[in-house]
Amino acid sequence: MTRDGTELPRPVVALAGNPNTGKSTLFNALTGLKQHTGNWPGKTVACARGWYRYNGQTVTLVDLPGTYSLLSDSPEERITRDFLCFGRPDATVVVVDATCLERNLNLIFQIMEVNTRVVACLNLMDEARRRGIRIDVPALARELGVPVVPAAARRGEGLTLLKETLHRVIEGRIHPAPRPVSYDPELEAAVAELAADLAVLSREGLNPRWVALCLIAGDESIIPKIRTFCNGKETQGDTHVRNRVTP
């Protein structure tokens, strides 16, 4: 089935964000009614899938459950994390509440650790304007290192720009260069060390730094996933032998 997104028609765009950021509104605005809600195999939480056409390309959009973090241990967060980490989306939109940016940055920084092809969608701009909140969008994009698209999904504002930006990211014409958070030196050193080992061990597509961070943080629920990634389509022994020779 579509557990890791690899069998979804490409290109696949993942939609992530905190709860209450108008993520579903954006999803509905982008896909119209071309969607179906399906339960994920063995999971408790619904993930809606939909699609839209832009510039001759049909893009599959996956609406992930709203989460505040990727490091906590709720079913929603596990699904979101697993999809971003192992589903290998062609691009990830992080929907951010413009009225409450600081709080929403937590998730975007974490997602930027997992994926590089990230686009931030600064939603609820209409509400921010109404409250007199002003955001320097170019500066935000510079600081994050990823494209930032201001939008008001309820009014349909910013949708075309978002589709265009995604199109360019998917086509490889824009290369987001996320600038994730650097942790304290001790933690950074531990992460780097472990990431090097993981890079040796796994085949392409696994983000060693992020997995290392999860493991050091004691998140054991990721282990079965890594195991499949390390063995993947090859037979077990095969991988180990090949990996030991590669470095």
Partner 1 sequence: MSEIGLPLDLHFVLSRARKCGERLGGDVHDRIAAAVYKRAEMLAARVVQTPSERAGEWDARLDDIFTSRALGYPIMLLLLGMVFWLTLAGANVPSELLAAVFLDVEGRLTAFCAAHAVPPVVHGILVEGVYRTVTWVVAVMLPPMAIFFPLFTLLEDLGYLPRVAFNLDRFFKAAGAHGKQALTMGMGLGCNAAGVVACRIIESPRERLVATLTNVFTPCNGRFPTLLLLASLLTGGSGPAAAAVVAGVVLLGVAATWTVSFVLTRSCLRGLPSSFALELPPYRPPQWGRVIVRAACDRTLVVLRRAVTVAAPAGAAVWLVANTHWGGVSLLGHLAGVLDPLGRAIGLDGFIVAAFLLGLPANEIVFPILLMGYLATGSMVEIGLGDLRTLLLSRGWNGLTALNMMVFSVLHFPCATTLLTILKETGSCRWTVLAAAIPTLVATSVCFATTQVARALNP
Partner 2 sequence: MTLFGLHELPVGCTGEVVAVRATGPTRRRLLDLGLVPGTRVKAVRKSAAGDPVAFRIRGALVALRREEGSTVLVRPISMPGGDR
Residues that bind partner 1 (CB under 8 A): 19-20, 25, 28, 33, 37, 39, 42, 44-46, 71, 74, 76, 99, 101-103, 105-106, 109-110, 127, 130-137, 139-140, 143-144, 154, 181-184, 186-187, 190, 193-194, 197-198, 200-201, 212-213, 215-218, 223, 226-227, 230, 240, 243-244, 247
Out of partner 1, partner 2, none, which partner does residue 8 contact, by CB within 5 to 8 A per kind? none
130-159: contacts with partner 2 (CB under 8 A)? none
Angle between helices 75-86 and 223-231 (to 10 degrees): 20
**Encoded tokens for 29:** 């605005």
Residue 135 contacts which entry, partner 2, partner 1, none (Cβ below 5-8 A, type-dependent): partner 1
Among 24, 69, 231, 243, binds partner 2 (CB under 8 A): 69
Q: Which helix (H) or strand (E) holds 58?
A: strand 57-63
Question: What is the phi/psi pair of residue 169, to 5°?
Answer: -65, -45
Q: Does 73 bind partner 2 (CB under 8 A)?
A: yes
Give yes or no for residue 227 binding partner 2 (CB under 8 A): no
CB distance 182 to 113 below 8 Å: no
Q: Does 161 bind partner 2 (CB under 8 A)?
A: no
Q: What's the full length of the chain, in residues?
A: 247
Q: What is the Cα–Cα distance from 242 to 159, expressed in whole angstroms?
A: 46
Cα–Cα distance, 32 to 50 (Å, whole number): 9
# residues near partner 2 by CB under 8 A: 11
Residue 190 CA to residue 203 CA, distance in Å, equals 21
The reply on whether position 123 binds partner 2 by CB under 8 A is: no
Asked if residue 72 binds partner 2 (CB under 8 A), the reply is yes
> Quick check: 103 binds partner 2 (CB under 8 A)?
yes
Nearer Cβ to partner 1, position 56 or 224?
224
Verify binding: residue 184, partner 2, rule CB under 8 A.
Answer: no
Q: How many CA atoms are closer than 13 Å to the CA of 55, on its beta-carbon side?
A: 12
Residues 6 or more apart whose Cβ sits within 8 Å of residue 140: 101, 120, 122, 148
User: Partners of 95 in the beta sheet?
Assistant: 17, 121
> Which residues sit at the interface with partner 2, rule CB under 8 A?
68-69, 71-73, 99-103, 106
